[in-house]
Amino acid sequence: MIDTQVQKHPRASAVAGTKNSADRAAAMPVSVPAHNRIRERAYELYESRGCAFGQDQQDWLRAEQEILQR
């Protein structure tokens, strides 16, 4: 049987459950240009580790933190 129920993006529920505009803004997905910069930085971090697999999430989170703090 095929599940016809549409699954929501995980951040959608986070945004819906927030109480003020600052919380909603913090929960919103990043812009496309920021996402691209994060992706590029995460790849740079991967390369700096000698292209070793297994730390993609850490690379992404570090890149995201670096880019969004600017």
Q: Is 55 in contact with 42 (CB distance < 8 Å)?
A: no
Q: What is the pLDDT of residue 6?
A: 43
At residue 70, the pLDDT reads 80
Count CB-CB contacts under 10 A for residue 67: 19
Q: For position 2, what pLDDT does the model report?
A: 52
Predicted TM-score of the model (pTM): 0.57
Q: pLDDT tens for the chain, 70 residues: list them.
A: 454 444 444 444 444 454 554 454 455 567 899 999 999 999 999 999 999 999 999 999 999 999 999 8
Contact partners, residue 58, CB within 8 Å, separation at least 6: none
